[in-house]
Amino acid sequence: MTPPITLAGIKNCDSVKSAKRWLDDNKIDYNFLDLRSDQFVRHTLGQWLEIVDWTDLLNKRSATWRGLDDEDRVDLDEARAMTLMMRHPTLIKRPVLHLGTAIEIGFSAERYAKLLKP
């Protein structure tokens, strides 16, 4: 039995919309997790960080990152980055495709096809 697929992101994000459209067009069942919802909890982020490095998940190109105070952006470690991502979900690169023991960050139709098509 294959693990459930979760696509996490923010509803109005263009790359999330593209990923959702690709999954729908290819008739792949998935659960959508809005990073701004109450369902997105520290436990979920902790699971992701067991699979990928926090530096791969933290979006330092976002407007949210640029808007942080300087003291929030220096001397980061995993715990501080996790706290920032929980406080500001738009700091998480998206979409995040969680496939049980694997995570794909960002959207690429070619990569999704490789990961999800038999």
* pLDDT at residue 113, as a whole number: 95
Domains, the chain, with CATH or none: 6-116 (3.40.30.10)
Q: How many CB atoms lie within 10 A of CB 91?
A: 20
* pLDDT at residue 2, as a whole number: 60
* pLDDT at residue 27, as a whole number: 94
User: What tokens appear for 19 in the block?
Assistant: 């990923």
Rounded to two decimals, the pTM is 0.89
State the first-to-last Cα distance of the chain, in angstroms, to the nearest integer: 14
Decide if 52 is catalytic.
no
Question: Per the residue annotation, which of 4, 5, 8, 13 is the catalytic one?
Answer: 13
Strands of 103-105's sheet in order across: 31-34, 6-9, 96-98, 103-105
* pLDDT at residue 19, as a whole number: 98
What pLDDT tens digit does each residue of the chain (118 aa) get?
466 899 999 999 999 999 999 999 999 999 999 998 877 778 899 999 999 999 999 999 999 999 999 999 999 999 999 999 999 999 999 999 999 889 999 999 999 999 997 6
